[in-house]
Structure 1
């Protein structure tokens, strides 16, 4: 491709995605610190202090207590969080096929099976930020649309790098011509910050686009690996009465090493078959702690299916999630992510400002790039 073609690619991909990327950067900033914000405003509960070594109650006891508290509901998921010791989070609903909006949450003490909290559905500031960032309050179409904007952002970055070399031919790297016009200073700053944040922006753009495919990835896993593993149950009637969850977990524990339980999906829920408890484990190493290993156990007979690692596309999704929000390295990395996010906001905002205030024609800018000259106008 020649300079003119790269210029047009950079121009239109940038213009199409800029406003949406600005929105994603602005909404993503508080989401980076969502745990710290929740803690600051007291939106978390803590399990009461008990003597060290107090044993956890049986999982069957937790199930019974949750169903007593929500009579008429069914349990869909139970999960644990390393940041909340001695707590189990239980999701119930009126039926297994009820929409996610009808889910009800319980926070339980794993030692006593006491209900610690029954949080109402979140409708506050962080919920609005999350929904805008994930799907624009438009569900799957909104997610896929934002994923497409992320891909345009990646193309805009690549094309911008190609244009940067001829533009900077007669300048030292990092030069900001402060003695010239305000527009030229903004152009130099736009280009400099764009190059500095290049790798981070590519990582966040690509991982963000991958994350928008999560419903597609789950559906593919259901029709692919999950269907293959449970093919022998195709003609088996759906169980009306479920067996012991604790025995199912004990069976699953024997099939894994150096992993700890992350969550359990009930039969008929999104992450299991109609006949099995889906018991998911995380590893104990930095990398394996981001990956999941499912073990399927028959909810009636307690028979375990041979565990299989998740397919590559599911693992790619799991690895992309912590990279996107920078939450795999604690608070210091979150701060770095936030600073890079702010720098990207400046890049996007300055690019939009420079394009809206342009004074020369596209033909003149392309001619100057081809000749190696230095324009006072931005490449969009």
Structure 2
């Protein structure tokens, strides 16, 4: 690689890293507890568990489940109801003042008795809720998400440029070498490079999936403006439903139309995952991978008839795959542990990068002062050039 090309890549790596490092440190620090959000919620006693009942008790009618939730907030409307794959005895019912209410009320209802169990908090309580909002949008909504997405893009640029710079650097020494006994800066430079290469694939995966996740709102709006608009064309100009069809009948109809699948969640009319005229019943598979992919079944909210059902477009499929992959939710405890270790290693990479930048600035300043005192011509010190 020519010296001019090396300088160009060095400039790209330097500034892409400097711009995104502080925010990436924030995301790594907030992401670490989020990897274990289920476990932290359990330790803090925020888990919702279904009470023991007679095994002979069957499944409650879904209309009764909805009625139990609405009884707590009669002035609010239904937004969603969902079930976790590992907790089929609980329906999570969500109510709000309007279909897109961000201050919704979550209610856990027993799926067998249709009795309210509790009003759960976010897993881990206020601390985990704060970590989640900082990690997702910096408490700034869509602008915050898109800003963090741009920081994720800069991270990918920094990783690629770092790999380009690392190749010629490693020709001079064995892989994994950490030089001791010279200067603290060189030791941290070697450690920074080593950990950067070790965490390369993970950082690319997490950075790319995190960037995709920040586009969720935009992708949903695009889906609504294209495929959903196409599915709703026959309802153009039609008045909204005056009476909603039975949810029990709607879900059973969706199950018959999607053999081998089970209900993941139901979106009520007006919410982003439905339409003003439909229930959106989202089915999922039973395997570890297929359980992350949804198949929407649109059901006329007034007549209870299926109007359309089709697979999600590729970009929403990519979004659904990237969300659990971002937090290591696919492989159980061992994958979570690996994700946590790599997260900590990335924190060291980011922190050492900041340290090296500060130390380099100090070295340049000391060199300039020494030159000024000696009256010698100004030259770049070898310490600043070596390994950068």
**SS of corresponding position for 1:357:** helix
For 1:185-196, list aligned pairs within 5 A. 185-196=187-198
TM-score (norm 1): 0.93
Q: Does 1:91 align with 2:99?
A: no
The alignment's TM-score, normalised by the length of structure 2, stands at 0.91
* Partner of residue 261, structure 1: 263
**Between Structure 1 and Structure 2, how many residues are aligned?**
368
1:50 partner SS: coil
**Paired residue for 1:168?**
170
Q: Residues 187-218 of structure 1, C-alpha deviation per residue, up to 9 Å, x if partnerless?
A: 10000000000000000000000000010011
Contact 2:48–2:120 (8 Å) recurs in 1: no
Quote the offset at 1:95 in angstroms: 2.8
Alignment of 1:74 with 2:71, yes or no, is no
**Unmatched runs of 5 consecutive residues or more in structure 2:** 368-381
Partner of 1:133: 135
In structure 1, C-alpha distance between the alignment counterparts of 2:148 and 2:286, rounded to whole Å: 33
> Shift in Å at residue 53 of structure 1?
4.7
Partner of 2:116: 115
The Cα of 1:96 is off from its aligned counterpart by 2.5
Q: Does 1:54 align with 2:57?
A: yes
SS of alignment partner, residue 137 of structure 1: coil
- 8 Å contact from structure 1 (residues 47, 85) kept in 2: no
CA distance in 1, matches of 2:199, 2:40: 26
Alignment partners' CA distance in 1, 2:384 and 2:358: 16
Q: For residues 4 and 223 of structure 1, what CA distance do their matches in structure 2 show?
A: 45
Deviates more, 1:26-35 or 1:255-264: 255-264
Cross-structure match for 1:285: 287
Aligned-residue offset at 1:264: 0.2
Which of 21, 27, 32 aligns to 1:29? It is 32
Q: Measure the CA separation in 1 of the matches of 2:286 and 2:383.
A: 54
Superimposed CA distance per residue, residues 83-115 of structure 1 (whole angstroms, 9 cap, x where no aligned partner): 334101000012325x312x1111100111111
- Displacement after TM superposition at 1:378 (Å): 5.4
The farther-off stretch of 50-59 and 158-167 is 50-59
**Displacement of 1:225:** 0.9
Task: Provide the secondary structure at the position in 2 that maps to 1:86.
Answer: strand
Q: 1:377 to 1:353 in 2, by over 3 A?
A: farther
Go from structure 1 to structure 2 and tell me whether the alpha carbon gap of 1:217 and 1:284 turns closer, same or farther (over 3 Å shift). same
d(CA) in 1 for partners of 2:102 and 2:122?
Answer: 11
Q: Which of these residues, 300, 317, 328, is aligned with residue 319 of structure 2?
A: 317
Question: Which residue is 1:367 aligned to?
Answer: none
Superposition deviation, residue 182 in structure 1: 1.5
- Give 1:104's aligned residue: 105
Counterpart selection for 1:308 from 310, 324, 335: 310
Q: Considering only aligned residues, what root-mean-square deviation do their CA atoms show, in Å? A: 1.9
Q: Is the 8 A contact 2:364 2:384 kept in 1?
A: no
Q: 1:242 aligns with which of 238, 241, 244?
A: 244
Which secondary structure state, in structure 2, belongs to the residue aligned with residue 271 of structure 1? coil
Q: Please report how far the alpha carbon of residue 69 of structure 1 lies from its aligned counterpart in structure 2 after TM superposition.
A: 2.3
Structure with the greater relative contact order (CA < 8 A, sep ≥ 6): 1 or 2?
A: 1
Q: Is 34-43 or 70-79 further displaced after alignment?
A: 70-79
Q: Deviations over 1:315-354 (max 9, x none)?
A: 1100111111001111110000000000000000001001
